[in-house]
Amino acid sequence: MSNEDSGMPKGAATTKATVTQVLAEMNRDGGTVIPFNKYRDFGKRWPVPGHGEVLVVPLGGLGRIGMNWTLYGHDGKWLLVDAGIAFPPEEMADEVDALVPDPAFLAPIAKRLVGLVVTHAHEDHIGGVDKLWPYAITCPIWATPFAKAMLERRFEEAGSLDDVTIHSFPVGGSFEVGPFKVRSVRMTHSIPEPVALAIGTAAGTVLHSGDWKFDPDPLIGAPTDFDALREIGDQGVLAMLCDSTNAHKDLPTTSEAQVREAFRRLFARRRGQVAICGFSSNVARVASAGLAAAESGRQVALAGRSMRNAEETARSLGILDGYPNFLAEPSHLKGLERSRVALVCTGGQGEDKAALAKLARGDRRLPAFGAGDTVVLSARIIPGNEEAVEKVCSRLRSRGVEVLHGNDSIDGLPLHVSGHPGANELRELYRLVRPRYAIPVHGTEMHLAAHARLAREEGVEAALVCDEAELIRLTPHGACVLGRVEAPMLALSRDENGNRVPYKPQAALA
Ligand SMILES: [Zn+2]
Ligand SMILES: [Zn+2]
């Protein structure tokens, strides 16, 4: 399959045009004219990072939302931040489950790769880990307790837990990996324990934001550690790689606490059965649904394996202390009075095998939903899934079920809030961190361009809009795009049972 038909990164010709455009735009905006070496195609010959520089290679997450992998090079070593998957384009979805950078290309630097540090446990940040470690990549992994437990559960299922090394660090903790001094910073997002990473080197500090928003009341975990961000900014930040998901629009300040209040009012007012459908890893959202349901005198169960796994993991770590337990099986809700029934389930992206689609089909293991009952899709629909979601919703509506969406509200309170920063929150972060250079990540081209404009307005010396697999050089004297390395993608498929199978490299690559 060619790069063109799979949505893979574009070739070098486009890349060069992009770099020229960026430089032209920087000059037009009055940014510092950075030294720009001749653009090189490094192919498989990666440069050895020097003591006086930080090299940055975003392997994914640029021009797309997904597959976040970023390599940092310094003093002869490389550090990887996140190893997620991208979901395949629709035309590949039958055979291909996920896309990752092909680990074969890491062979030239495998001996210099000192570790993987994980920012949080979303699929687009950790989805590749249990498929590639330890089969194709063996470096040790660092993660917060929640992300570590989520990874361990997967390694256990794959039978490879004994063959990987996972260190944990507390949220806000510091640790060293080779020549990199890493300080984690507590952020807020739509999953427990999201962290930003201040990566300290002899050539300067790079702040890798991870996914974040400023949630004043995240319910699970404490709000963002603004003092740490300001302190890191005071000490001087060479560059920031930061989330661009909502960079094109200002957003009101929103919080999980608002969604919980919306759930409370909804559960109290509805007389029929209510189902809340959301992302399984959004533990605060699941906890809110459980709490609001219990307060309205309902029994509540979870439906969906991934949701039960995330809930179990969170509970085992004490993250859900004080929250009511869920029923062991959704079938235990059957036969209860309708006003006493609540369900929290997966499938908000219209997935055919997930709980919501089963509910819509009238699966007998779930309570029967019909006239007078309500389903809330408490999530954003990922672009590309609209049709599948609509199919499930229309099935529910044909049964008489009222379907509410994430952009609906109860008394002005949202039924879903985004986990990513709007332009206003981004500006606030830039004012705290004050990086010299901005490298927007985690966004499509439109998001990256909007983020770069914003960063320049906030006074960065230059904002570099790059392509995947480009090699960026940062030194105290400037920043430039050196060229690109060869980094093809790998398609991961499912086995006959629909489970993702670990990638086993061919003998020649092992
Ligand atoms: Zn993400
Ligand atoms: Zn995320």
| 189 Cα: distance to centroid of ligand 2 (angstroms) | 7
Nearest-ligand number for the alpha carbon of 279: 2
Average pLDDT over residues 5-23: 42
CA distance 428 to 440: 15
| 480 Cα: distance to centroid of ligand 2 (angstroms) | 28
Q: In the prediction, which pLDDT does 276 show?
A: 98
CB 326 within 8 A of CB 302: yes
How many percent of the chain have pLDDT more than 70? 90
Nearest-ligand number for the alpha carbon of 82: 1
Q: In the prediction, which pLDDT does 283 show?
A: 97
Q: How confident is the model at residue 63 (pLDDT cuts 50, 70, 90)?
A: very high
Cis peptide before 134 (omega within 30 of 0): yes
| 68 Cα: distance to centroid of ligand 2 (angstroms) | 10
Average pLDDT over residues 113-123: 97
- pLDDT tens per residue across span 401-435: 999 999 999 999 999 999 999 999 999 999 999 99
| 154 Cα: distance to centroid of ligand 1 (angstroms) | 19
Q: How confident is the model at residue 473 (pLDDT cuts 50, 70, 90)?
A: very high
Q: In the prediction, which pLDDT does 65 show?
A: 86
- pLDDT tens per residue across span 255-290: 999 999 999 999 999 999 999 999 999 999 999 999
Q: In the prediction, which pLDDT does 108 show?
A: 86
Q: Is the dihedral of CA 340, 290, 216, 322 positive or negative?
A: positive
Q: Taking all residues of the chain, what is their mean pLDDT, rounded to a whole number?
A: 90
CB 129 within 8 A of CB 160: no
- pLDDT tens per residue across span 193-226: 999 999 999 999 999 999 999 999 999 999 999 9
Q: Three-state SS string across 67-95, please?
A: CCEEEEEECCEEEEEEECCECCCHHHCCC
More confident residue, 35 or 231: 231
| 72 Cα: distance to centroid of ligand 1 (angstroms) | 18
Compute and round to an integer the Cα radius of gyration of the chain. 23
CA distance 251 to 326: 34
| 281 Cα: distance to centroid of ligand 1 (angstroms) | 12
CB 481 within 8 A of CB 466: yes
Nearest-ligand number for the alpha carbon of 443: 1
* pLDDT for residue 43 is more than 60: yes
| 124 Cα: distance to centroid of ligand 1 (angstroms) | 5
| 402 Cα: distance to centroid of ligand 2 (angstroms) | 29
Q: In the prediction, which pLDDT does 383 show?
A: 82
* pLDDT for residue 245 is more than 50: yes
| 67 Cα: distance to centroid of ligand 1 (angstroms) | 8
Q: How confident is the model at residue 498 (pLDDT cuts 50, 70, 90)?
A: low
347-368 exposure pattern, b = at least 16 Cβ within 10 A, e = fewer = bbbbbeebbbbbbbeeeeebbe
Three-class secondary structure of residue 182 per DSSP: strand
Q: What is the pTM of this model?
A: 0.90
* pLDDT for residue 509 is more than 80: no
Tokens, residue 383: 């672009």
Average pLDDT over residues 54-83: 96
* pLDDT for residue 312 is more than 50: yes
Nearest-ligand number for the alpha carbon of 242: 1
| 434 Cα: distance to centroid of ligand 1 (angstroms) | 23
Map out the domains of the chain with their CATH numbers. 14-251+418-493 (3.60.15.10), 256-414 (3.40.50.10710)
| 404 Cα: distance to centroid of ligand 2 (angstroms) | 24
* pLDDT for residue 399 is more than 50: yes
Average pLDDT over residues 475-479: 92
| 419 Cα: distance to centroid of ligand 1 (angstroms) | 9
CA distance 495 to 488: 23
CA distance 103 to 132: 8
Nearest-ligand number for the alpha carbon of 68: 1
Nearest-ligand number for the alpha carbon of 195: 2
Non-local (6+) Cβ contacts of 327 within 8 A are 299, 300, 301, 333
DSSP 217: -
| Residue written as token pair 């990752």 | 100
Q: How confident is the model at residue 21 (pLDDT cuts 50, 70, 90)?
A: low
* pLDDT for residue 356 is more than 50: yes
| 218 Cα: distance to centroid of ligand 2 (angstroms) | 14
Nearest-ligand number for the alpha carbon of 120: 2
Tabulate helix, strand, coil % of the chain (nearest 5). Answer: 30, 25, 45
- pLDDT tens per residue across span 330-344: 999 999 999 999 999
Tokens, residue 250: 């200002």
Q: From residue 278, how far is each of 237, 308, 336, 369, 458 by CA, in Å? A: 36, 13, 24, 18, 35
Q: In the prediction, which pLDDT does 382 show?
A: 86
| Residue written as token pair 């960065």 | 460
- pLDDT tens per residue across span 289-304: 999 999 999 999 999 9
CB hemisphere CA count around 381 (13 angstroms) = 20
Average pLDDT over residues 502-506: 57
Nearest-ligand number for the alpha carbon of 84: 1
Q: From residue 301, how far is each of 259, 295, 403 by CA, in Å? A: 19, 14, 19
